Amino acid sequence: MVKHLNFVKVMKNNLVLITELNQVKQDLHAKYPNDKESYQNEKEFFYNRINKVL
């Protein structure tokens, strides 16, 4: 729970990361329009990268 709250704080204050995450989501939605599992698996790299610095 704490990690999630810290992630939210980091994202809330960083327009660059917000923009990057939105682009990742758009790209993955185009790549996997009907495959939520693959979408989630590939999106995980972004979350892991942020969580490493928390």
Question: pLDDT, tens digit, for every residue of 10-50?
Answer: 899 899 999 999 999 999 999 999 999 999 999 999 999 99
User: What end-to-end distance do the CA atoms of the chain give, in Å?
Assistant: 13
Higher pLDDT, 43 or 53: 43
**Environment class of residue 20 by beta-carbon count within 10 Å: exposed (0-12), middle (13-18) or buried (19+)?**
middle
- For residue 3, the model assigns a pLDDT of 76
Whether the per-residue pLDDT at 1 is higher than 80: the answer is no
The pLDDT score that the predictor gives to residue 54 is 76
Query: Can you tell me the distance from the alpha carbon of 11 to that of 19, in angstroms, rounded to the nearest whole number?
Result: 10
The CA–CA distances, whole Å, from 45 to 39, 41, 54 equal 11, 8, 15
Q: What's the pLDDT band for 2 if we cut at 50, 70, 90?
A: confident
38 CB contacts (<8 Å, ≥6 apart)? 31, 32
